[in-house]
Amino acid sequence: MTRAADHPSTAPTAPPDELLEAPDADDARNPELPDVESVQARLLEHARTAERASHLRRIAEEAAALQAAERLAAEEAAQRAAEAQQRAEELATKHAAAAQEAYEARTVAERATTELAEGRRTAEEAALASAT
């Protein structure tokens, strides 16, 4: 014996009798069944709803594209700002180094001026001492 023979199918072999019967005249006048105008109205409503959904989807896609473009522009602006800040920091470092160099040069010049003044005073004292 095969397995199919062991387990009989539970699928119906024919549609139920109520599905085979044609609607009679009483069913045609049943108020629960929709009339042609209401079906057409619902179809029109569905078509309008589908068109509105399509329109809203297009608007959403345009908004998403605009948002992506704005985000890209913001990222580019942030990149330029970061590069400008880095350049400013480099210039500030160079300026600080130049300021330090200028300070050291000034200190050397002040020391030289002081030594020159002392040498001049010493020379003047020596000249006065030898003149007397």
Dihedral Cα 66, 69, 74, 79, nearest 10 deg: 180
Q: Global pTM?
A: 0.47
Q: Number of structural domains, the chain?
A: 1
Any domain includes 82: yes
| End-to-end C-alpha distance for the chain, whole angstroms | 151
Nearest-angstrom CA–CA distance, 37 and 28: 15
- Residue 48 in any domain: the answer is yes
pLDDT digit of tens for each residue in the chain (132 aa)? 455 555 555 555 555 554 445 455 555 555 577 899 999 999 999 999 999 999 999 999 999 999 999 999 999 999 999 999 999 999 999 999 999 999 999 999 999 999 999 999 999 999 888 887
Q: Decide if 87 is inside a domain.
A: yes
Domain of residue 97 covers 35-131
- 15, part of any domain: no
**In a domain? residue 20:** no
Other C-beta atoms closer than 10 Å to the C-beta of 72 total: 10
Q: What share of the chain is helix, strand, coil (3-state, %, to 5)?
A: 80, 0, 20
